[in-house]
Amino acid sequence: MQQLSVRLESVFELVRESRTSLGRGRVIDIGSDHGFLSVRCLEEGVSDHAVCTDIHEAPAQKSRSSLIMAGFKDKCTVKVTDGMDGIELQPNDIVVTAGMGGLNIIDIFTRITDNTEDKILKDCGFVVQSQKSTHLVRRFFAKNGYRIADETVCKDRGFFYNVMRLEYTGSPYELSVRQSYYGPCLLTKEDELTKEYFAHLDEIFAVRARGDEDIRKMLEE
Ligand SMILES: C[S@@+](CC[C@H](N)C(=O)[O-])C[C@H]1O[C@@H](n2cnc3c(N)ncnc32)[C@H](O)[C@@H]1O
């Protein structure tokens, strides 16, 4: 079984969760690098076929090697491209972007949303783990009609990461400032790790509030 880091294991768990409400289908791993997530999805039957994309040839080659070594030569497609450019979304696809910056993720999903019919988007799942600018990522998805169906937090080698599972509804909505920074789903959770994560965010925002009016207002609410 392909071993994953704590962070990627959390991503995998939400991909698995996403599959429970969809039929059999592909996993499209954008920015796949080593391709480990796709290998694990194929091993566990969470996807029938893995599509890996990477903007650079060297990581795409790593994905290709991992998938071939794991015996999935006939169940994978690896493409060097920006985001999902040149790949058409199909019903039951699960699109994953993990380990990338928030602005890059927003750019990738702007094109996916613009280039795909609503009825196809509604039949797909989306799992996103951004390294930074996560509040902007949440606002983008709200504004573009993606519901945050679940969100989890994990701690990997001393760093917190959060992972979102999204569904496209086509109905835009607004998030409060607090929801965009802390996550509407995470705000409903009461487990110890989420509490620890929020205490960590509280400390960061207490400092940032000095120069950021948005954050100052949120802390005063
Ligand atoms: C830090 S790695 C993350 C790899 C893996 N997804 C993970 O979470 O462990 C980011 C990868 O995304 C690729 N990448 C960055 N921007 C991209 C884009 N716009 N489209 C496709 N791949 C991209 C990089 O080349 C790199 O291999």
Residues 96-126 have pLDDT tens digits of 999 999 999 999 999 999 999 999 999 999 9
Confidence at residue 217, expressed as pLDDT on a 0 to 100 scale: 84
Query: Considering its fold, how many domains does the chain have in total?
Result: 1
Confidence at residue 74, expressed as pLDDT on a 0 to 100 scale: 98
Q: Which atom of ligand 1 is least distant from the CA of 33?
A: 27
93 lines ligand 1 (CB under 6 A): no
Q: What mean pLDDT do residues 181-206 have?
A: 97
Q: Which atom of ligand 1 is least distant from the CA of 108?
A: 19
The verdict on residue 92 lying in a domain is yes
Q: How much distance in Å is there from the Cα of 211 to the middle of ligand 1?
A: 32
83 lines ligand 1 (CB under 6 A): yes
The verdict on residue 66 lying in a domain is yes
Helices and strands of the chain, counted as H and E runs: 9, 7
Residue 133 CB burial class (10 angstroms; 0-12, 13-18, ≥19): middle
The verdict on residue 163 lying in a domain is yes
- Is-above-0.95 flag for pTM? yes
Amino acid at 57: E
33 lines ligand 1 (CB under 6 A): yes
98 lines ligand 1 (CB under 6 A): yes
Q: Which of 13, 27, 53, 100 has most ligand 1 atoms within 8 Å of its beta carbon, as the pocket-test mutant?
A: 100
104 lines ligand 1 (CB under 6 A): yes
pLDDT band at 201 (very low <50, low <70, confident <90, very high): very high
The verdict on residue 211 lying in a domain is no
pLDDT band at 214 (very low <50, low <70, confident <90, very high): confident
102 lines ligand 1 (CB under 6 A): no
The whole-angstrom separation of Cα 202 and Cα 195 is: 10
In the DSSP assignment, the letter for residue 74 is G
Q: How much distance in Å is there from the Cα of 36 to the middle of ligand 1?
A: 12
Average pLDDT value for the chain? 97
The whole-angstrom separation of Cα 40 and Cα 204 is: 35
Give the structural domain span for 87: 6-175
The verdict on residue 189 lying in a domain is no
**Conformation bin of residue 149: beta by default, left when phi > 0, alpha when psi is -120 to 50:** alpha
Domain harbouring 94, CATH code: 3.40.50.150
Q: What mean pLDDT do residues 171-195 have?
A: 97
Q: Strand ranges (DSSP E) for 57-134?
A: 76-80, 94-100, 125-130
Confidence at residue 4, expressed as pLDDT on a 0 to 100 scale: 98
Confidence at residue 178, expressed as pLDDT on a 0 to 100 scale: 95
53 lines ligand 1 (CB under 6 A): yes
The verdict on residue 180 lying in a domain is no
The verdict on residue 84 lying in a domain is yes
Q: Which of 55, 63, 163 has most ligand 1 atoms within 8 Å of its beta carbon, as the pocket-test mutant?
A: 55
- pLDDT, one tens digit per residue, over 122-142 is 999 999 999 999 999 999 999
The verdict on residue 218 lying in a domain is no
